[in-house]
């Protein structure tokens, strides 16, 4: 979209804002400003993203050839374990909520900050403590159980440092709980006058649903980890049948959190995509209430489908039947969202800026990820494809194709607000294209591999050399994808110094966050805004001879 | 046809066709749904791209549309759900007259024992066209017995039996994978399923058998002194085991359970857990005293003295394994023909 659509005067960057108000390490480490905490998170999760990505690269390089030649079997097992743990617990779960959510939730509802600013800072410190423990664990040998920690392998057999890795996740989990708590209270109590529930941006609805899962689900994984640690240390006999335990109990507890955790990763991304599609189609979101309530429906149904990870684990035929049915029930709200986004494009005025390219990419990848979920929920097919590369491809389409595309789209969309600078648009569009192509090249062949029967977590497939061609394609795609992920980091950093200063609302977007300065001042708004308009009032914003809605500032 | 397609797994069991049919149906249905969405997105994105002076037309939404695009997918989902469930029922319901093979998984090896007594490691020989039921347990962690060409997979757990079954349709050698991550050599826990024509299979079966599994079980039964309490002639201190397999059993706590493989196994290893009504809790546990293979043999033996069910696989292979334990003959006679002891490793 042309930057001249709005004509606010380009203000000097030097005016006081949350970035230049104070300098010095302590002004950052002791800040209670939600925007500064968001940046602390941004730096930390980017660090872990590249660590996790490095592990992924080594995994793909090992699988280039059927024999295990790059690393030892134990090293490979640790690589995929640490890749999963780092990416799930230290990147994906905090990614959008803790960075974009932290930055935007108060601004979008017209608040000065989150309800509990100091708890917000505490949650970052907990994340860092967990992260340092995880790093220490990795540097002193790592863990080789897979991120799923299945008992009794994790409790009685492996001799790697399960307890430390578990405690790292335990501590980081409290960071997630506190973020969720903060959002729930903030959204309930801190909305500006006139900001009713049905005027909330759908980003807020998505974060509200996410927070509910974080609050109710995360304690269960904490309990599970404590039980694993207790069994390892004290031989309690909870999960290991030799000690009188039940290994399936572990799987039930683990997936009771870890399936909803997938929605912690994808729901905020759906929120981001909704904002982007509305802005770059210049339209109100089609079926606002359906999109909003589908987020809540996903959060609720998401808690009732965990055993679909266990169809061949030894559960009864009848419980498998129930969980298969419920899995189709949770697929429906996601389908409704996709249809509503598509319908929003209808009769829009569509701009192809970089954030919108990421949104298109999200729609393509999330749709494929969602539809392949229908295969896995079908009992008869799941028996064949579970624990194969089909599953690996499916959840990467959701968690990388969906969640990370949304995260990158959001980072581009709000970067002018966060940094006060514009990134180079051409490079950003190129990166979106590279990510999309690289992603499909990496993961699409894995669907085929999975149906052919290649099991996951195999470091050596020399018994089945017929799998090599598809693995080579996948590894080639991963290198392309790696370039696609490095590019934004480079030009975002570049833009902080050399980028053009951004206007307050470079996209002429709806939403209270765009009525603040770029970058915003410490308390976001000079005066408490009063909301008199509906969400996504693009009709008014684009109306000729009109300045747009009254600016609260 | 699909067997010659390089990106498709071989079809070599009766189940494979059912799974593939549903898979192809899903590919078509989801392909059409994806196409519909993608065509709409691309068409709208092109048709309604920004043009100077043309403004977007605001549309609130449409309840009729929302209901339509909720109801139609839901109906499609239900077709998939029911079809998937029907295939799953087939996969999870072994035919009652299937020949039985005991599988013990350990890090990182598959140990297989046929009801006829043949033992194999990381290989399983089966004849074409016969139902085979695998009764599986693990000595250590969770494994998963996966044969892609048969489209079957079942986790193998320590401390209990799980079962899966198949009927091979095509001679050949097929991959056997461990599909549940189990430690260092997980990717080395692979093997072969050798499907042979009946004649070849019989020739293989005749080489080096150690006598039927149930006979080994009978020997262990005698050695452990089980018969002192579990008597068949007079009421003993333990229940008479003749004819017990597959029958409902009244428990002391009022429940009724079916005496299946898992129940027999549990009674050997944890006798107090589900005690039969009318008997005292005097049986000692055999946990740690018998290996997984010996438990399998004992279970096979108890099944063999069940009146309504001949020993597993007996019907089809009676002519193959010459000295058999026929239901009619006395156990003493059968016992004389036992040639070898199970040599399974001890439970940790």
Residues in chain B: 348
Stretch among A24-33, A42-51, B205-214 having the lowest mean pLDDT = B205-214
Q: What is the pLDDT of residues B156-202, one digit of tens each?
A: 999 999 999 999 999 999 999 999 999 999 999 999 999 999 999 98
* Residue B214 binned pLDDT confidence (cut-offs 50, 70, 90): confident
Q: What is the CATH number of the domain that holds A365?
A: 1.20.210.10
Give helix A117-139 / helix A162-189 axis angle, nearest 10°: 160
Query: B147 vs B5, which has greater pLDDT?
Result: B147
Domain B99-206 has CATH 2.60.40.420: yes
Give DSSP secondary structure letters for B27-55: HHHHHHHHHHHHHHHHHHHHHTB--TTPP
- Selecting from A288, A343, A349 the residue whose C-beta is nearest the C-beta of B54 gives A349
Q: What is the pLDDT of residues A490-526, one digit of tens each?
A: 999 999 999 999 999 999 999 999 999 989 999 999 8
What dotted CATH number matches B213-336?
Answer: 1.10.760.10
Using CB atoms and an 8 Å cut-off, which of residues 185-214 of chain B contact chain A? Answer: 185-188, 190
Cα(B223)–Cα(B227) distance, rounded to whole angstroms?
A: 9
pLDDT of residue B63: 92
- Residue A291 is part of which domain span? 34-542
A73 touches chain B (CB under 8 A): yes
pLDDT of residue A82: 96
* Residue A545 binned pLDDT confidence (cut-offs 50, 70, 90): low
Taking contacts as CB-CB distances below 8 angstroms, the residues of chain B near A77 are: 181, 183-184, 186
Q: What is the pLDDT of residues B21-76, one digit of tens each?
A: 999 999 999 999 999 999 999 999 999 999 988 898 888 889 999 999 999 999 99
Q: What is the pLDDT of residues A102-112, one digit of tens each?
A: 999 999 999 99
Q: How far is B21 from chain A (nearest CA, A)?
A: 10
| Percentage, residues of chain A above pLDDT 90 | 89
Query: B112 vs B333, which has greater pLDDT?
Result: B112
Taking contacts as CB-CB distances below 8 angstroms, the residues of chain B near A284 are: 58-60
pLDDT of residue B116: 85
pLDDT of residue A337: 96
Do residue A328 and residue B178 have CB atoms under 8 angstroms apart? no
* Residue B209 binned pLDDT confidence (cut-offs 50, 70, 90): low
Of B153, B149, B51, B160, the closest CA to residue B104 belongs to B160
**Closest-approach residue (CA) in chain B for A280:** B50
pLDDT of residue A122: 97
| Total tally of structural domains belonging to chain A | 1
pLDDT of residue A9: 53
SS3 B124: strand
**Closest-approach residue (CA) in chain B for A153:** B141
pLDDT of residue A22: 87
- Selecting from A153, A312, A458 the residue whose C-beta is nearest the C-beta of B141 gives A153
Answer positive or negative: Cα dihedral of A281, A282, A287, A290: positive
* Residue B327 binned pLDDT confidence (cut-offs 50, 70, 90): very low
Average pLDDT over residues B137-159: 96
Give DSSP secondary structure letters for B290-305: S-HHHHHHHHHHHHHT
Taking contacts as CB-CB distances below 8 angstroms, the residues of chain A near B49 are: 349-352
Question: Does A13 reside within a domain?
Answer: no
Cα(A183)–Cα(A295) distance, rounded to whole angstroms?
A: 15
Average pLDDT over residues B272-279: 86
How far, in whole angstroms, is CA A92 from its chain's centroid? Answer: 4
A423 touches chain B (CB under 8 A): no
Asked whether residue A141 carries a pLDDT value surpassing 80, the answer given is: yes
Stretch among A45-59, A70-84, B104-118, B292-306 having the lowest mean pLDDT = B292-306
- Selecting from A335, A381, A448 the residue whose C-beta is nearest the C-beta of B22 gives A381
Stretch among A23-27, B71-75, B78-82, B102-106 having the lowest mean pLDDT = A23-27
A374 touches chain B (CB under 8 A): yes
A70 touches chain B (CB under 8 A): no
Stretch among A97-111, A476-490, A509-523, B311-325 having the lowest mean pLDDT = B311-325
pLDDT of residue A123: 97
Question: Does A473 reside within a domain?
Answer: yes
Cα(A483)–Cα(A434) distance, rounded to whole angstroms?
A: 8
* Residue B343 binned pLDDT confidence (cut-offs 50, 70, 90): very low
Give helix A247-281 / helix A354-377 axis angle, nearest 10°: 150
Taking contacts as CB-CB distances below 8 angstroms, the residues of chain B near A374 are: 26, 30, 77, 80
ipTM score of complex:
0.91
Do residue A157 and residue B51 have CB atoms under 8 angstroms apart? no
Owner of token pair 């925007």: A35
* Residue A375 binned pLDDT confidence (cut-offs 50, 70, 90): very high
Asked whether residue A8 carries a pLDDT value surpassing 80, the answer given is: no
pLDDT of residue B267: 87
pLDDT of residue A15: 80
Asked whether residue A326 carries a pLDDT value surpassing 50, the answer given is: yes
Mutation choice for A interface testing from B23, B41, B88 by most A CBs within 10 A: B88
| DSSP summary character for residue B131 | E
Q: What is the mean pLDDT of chain B?
A: 84
- Selecting from B9, B26, B179 the residue whose C-beta is nearest the C-beta of A378 gives B26
β-pair partners for B102: B113, B135
Taking contacts as CB-CB distances below 8 angstroms, the residues of chain A near B19 are: 380-381, 383-384
Cα(A427)–Cα(A178) distance, rounded to whole angstroms?
A: 37
* Residue A454 binned pLDDT confidence (cut-offs 50, 70, 90): very high
Question: Does A437 reside within a domain?
Answer: yes
How far, CA to CA in Å, does A527 sit from each of A116, A516, A530, A552, B226?
20, 11, 9, 7, 87
Cα(A378)–Cα(A212) distance, rounded to whole angstroms?
A: 28
Query: A114 vs B326, which has greater pLDDT?
Result: A114
Q: Decide: B148 and B9 in contact? Cβ < 8 Å.
A: yes
Using CB atoms and an 8 Å cut-off, which of residues 375-394 of chain A contact chain B? Answer: 375, 377-384, 386-388
Do residue B91 and residue A372 have CB atoms under 8 angstroms apart? no
Q: What is the pLDDT of residues A81-92, one digit of tens each?
A: 999 999 999 999
Answer positive or negative: Cα dihedral of A431, A432, A438, A439: positive
Q: How far is A59 from chain B (nearest CA, A)?
A: 14
Taking contacts as CB-CB distances below 8 angstroms, the residues of chain B near A450 are: none
Mutation choice for A interface testing from B2, B74, B77 by most A CBs within 10 A: B77
Q: In what order do the strands lie in the sheet with B99-106?
A: B119-121, B109-114, B99-106, B131-138, B162-167
Q: What is the mean pLDDT of chain A?
A: 93
* Residue B332 binned pLDDT confidence (cut-offs 50, 70, 90): very low
Average pLDDT over residues A468-488: 95
Q: What is the pLDDT of residues A253-294, one digit of tens each?
A: 999 999 999 999 999 999 999 999 999 999 999 999 999 999
pLDDT of residue A550: 47
pLDDT of residue A26: 92
Q: How far is A237 from chain B (nearest CA, A)?
A: 13
Asked whether residue B317 carries a pLDDT value surpassing 50, the answer given is: no
| Percentage, residues of chain A above pLDDT 70 | 96
A66 touches chain B (CB under 8 A): no
Using CB atoms and an 8 Å cut-off, which of residues 91-150 of chain B contact chain A? Answer: 91-92, 107, 140-142, 144, 146, 148-149
Taking contacts as CB-CB distances below 8 angstroms, the residues of chain B near A459 are: 187
Asked whether residue B338 carries a pLDDT value surpassing 80, the answer given is: no
Question: Does A137 reside within a domain?
Answer: yes
Asked whether residue B341 carries a pLDDT value surpassing 50, the answer given is: no
pLDDT of residue B44: 95
Average pLDDT over residues A438-447: 97
Asked whether residue B227 carries a pLDDT value surpassing 90, the answer given is: no
Cα(B287)–Cα(B290) distance, rounded to whole angstroms?
A: 7
């Amino acid at each position: 979209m042309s930057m001249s659509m709005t004509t606010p005067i380009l203000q000097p960057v030097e005016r006081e804002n949350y970035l230049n108000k104070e300098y010095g390490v302590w002004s950052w480490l002791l800040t209670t400003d939600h925007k500064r905490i968001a940046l602390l998170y941004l730096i930390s999760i980017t660090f872990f993203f590249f660590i996790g990505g490095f592990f992924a690269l080594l995994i793909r390089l090992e699988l280039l050839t059927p024999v295990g030649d790059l690393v030892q079997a134990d090293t490979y097992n640790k690589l995929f374990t640490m890749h999963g743990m780092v990416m799930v617990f230290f990147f994906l779960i905090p990614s959008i909520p803790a960075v974009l959510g932290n930055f935007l939730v108060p601004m979008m509802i017209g608040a000065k900050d989150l309800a509990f600013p100091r708890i917000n800072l505490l949650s970052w410190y907990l994340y860092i403590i967990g992260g340092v423990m995880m790093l220490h664990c990795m540097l002193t040998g790592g863990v080789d159980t897979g991120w799923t920690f299945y008992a009794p392998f994790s409790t009685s057999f492996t001799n790697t440092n399960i307890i430390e890795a578990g405690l790292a996740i335990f501590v980081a989990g409290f960071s997630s709980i506190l973020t969720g708590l903060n959002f729930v209270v903030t959204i309930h109590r801190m909305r500006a006058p006139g900001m009713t529930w049905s005027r909330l941006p759908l980003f807020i609805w998505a974060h509200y649903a996410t927070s509910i899962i974080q609050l109710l689900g995360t304690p269960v994984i904490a309990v599970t980890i404590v039980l694993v640690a207790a069994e390892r240390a004290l031989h309690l006999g909870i999960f290991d049948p030799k000690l009188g335990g039940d290994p399936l109990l572990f799987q039930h507890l683990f997936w009771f959190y870890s399936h909803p955790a997938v929605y912690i990763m994808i729901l905020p991304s759906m929120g981001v995509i909704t904002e982007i599609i509305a802005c770059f189609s210049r339209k109100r979101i089609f079926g606002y209430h359906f999109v909003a309530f589908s987020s809540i429906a996903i959060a609720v149904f998401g808690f009732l489908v965990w055993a679909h990870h266990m169809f061949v684990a030894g559960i009864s035929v009848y419980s498998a039947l129930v969980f298969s049915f419920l899995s189709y029930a949770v697929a429906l709200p996601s389908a409704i969202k996709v249809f509503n986004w598509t319908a929003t494009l209808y009769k829009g005025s569509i701009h192809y800026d970089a954030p919108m390219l990421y949104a298109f990419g999200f729609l393509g990848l999330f749709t494929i990820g969602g539809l392949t979920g229908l295969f896995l929920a079908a009992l008869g097919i799941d028996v064949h494809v579970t624990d194969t590369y089909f599953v690996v491809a499916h959840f990467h389409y959701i968690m990388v194709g969906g969640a990370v595309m949304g995260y990158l789209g959001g980072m581009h969309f709000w970067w002018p607000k966060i940094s006060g600078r514009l990134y180079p648009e051409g490079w950003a569009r190129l990166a979106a294209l590279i990510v999309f192509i690289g992603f499909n090249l990496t993961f699409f062949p894995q669907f085929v591999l999975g149906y052919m029967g290649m099991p996951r977590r195999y470091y050596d497939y020399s018994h089945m050399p017929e799998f090599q061609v598809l693995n080579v394609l996948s590894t080639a795609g991963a290198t392309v994808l790696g370039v696609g992920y490095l590019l934004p980091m480079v030009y975002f950093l570049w833009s902080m110094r050399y980028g053009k200063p951004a206007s307050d609302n470079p996209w002429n977007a709806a939403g209270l966050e765009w009525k603040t300065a770029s970058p915003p001042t410490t308390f976001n708004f000079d005066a408490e805004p009063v909301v008199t308009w509906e969400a996504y009032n693009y009709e008014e914003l684009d109306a000729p001879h009109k300045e747009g809605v009254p600016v609260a500032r | 046809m699909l067997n010659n397609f390089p990106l498709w797994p071989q079809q070599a069991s009766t189940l494979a066709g059912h799974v593939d049919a549903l898979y192809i149906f899903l590919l078509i249905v989801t392909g059409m749904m994806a196409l519909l969405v993608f065509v709409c997105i691309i068409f709208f994105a092109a048709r309604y791209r920004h043009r100077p002076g043309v403004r977007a037309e605001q549309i609130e939404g449409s309840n009729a549309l929302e209901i339509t695009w909720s109801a139609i997918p839901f109906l499609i989902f239900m077709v998939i759900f029911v079809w998937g469930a029907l295939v799953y029922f087939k996969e999870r319901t072994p035919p009652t007259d299937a020949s039985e093979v005991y599988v013990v998984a350990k890090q990182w090896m598959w140990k297989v024992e046929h009801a006829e007594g043949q033992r194999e490691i990381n290989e399983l020989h089966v004849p074409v066209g016969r139902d085979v039921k695998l009764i599986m347990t693990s000595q250590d962690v969770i494994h998963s017995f996966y044969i892609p060409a048969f489209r079957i997979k079942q986790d193998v757990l320590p401390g209990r039996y799980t079962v899966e079954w198949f009927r091979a349709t095509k001679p050949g050698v097929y991959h056997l994978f461990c599909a549940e991550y189990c430690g260092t050599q997980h990717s080395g826990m692979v093997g072969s399923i050798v499907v042979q024509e009946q004649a070849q299979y019989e020739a293989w079966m005749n080489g080096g058998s150690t006598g039927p599994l149930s006979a080994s079980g009978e020997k262990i039964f005698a050695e452990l002194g089980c018969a002192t309490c579990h008597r068949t002639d007079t009421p003993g201190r333990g229940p008479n085991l003749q004819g017990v397999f597959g029958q409902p059993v009244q428990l002391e706590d009022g429940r009724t359970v079916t005496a299946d493989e898992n129940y027999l196994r549990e009674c050997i290893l944890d006798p107090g857990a589900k005690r039969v009504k009318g008997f005292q809790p005097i049986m000692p546990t055999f946990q740690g005293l018998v290996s997984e293979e010996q438990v399998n043999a004992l279970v096979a033996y108890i099944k063999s003295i069940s009146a309504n069910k001949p020993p597993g696989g007996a019907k089809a292979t009676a002519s193959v394994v010459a000295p058999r334990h026929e239901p009619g003959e006395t156990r003493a006679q059968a016992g004389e023909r036992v040639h070898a002891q199970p040599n399974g490793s001890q439970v940790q």
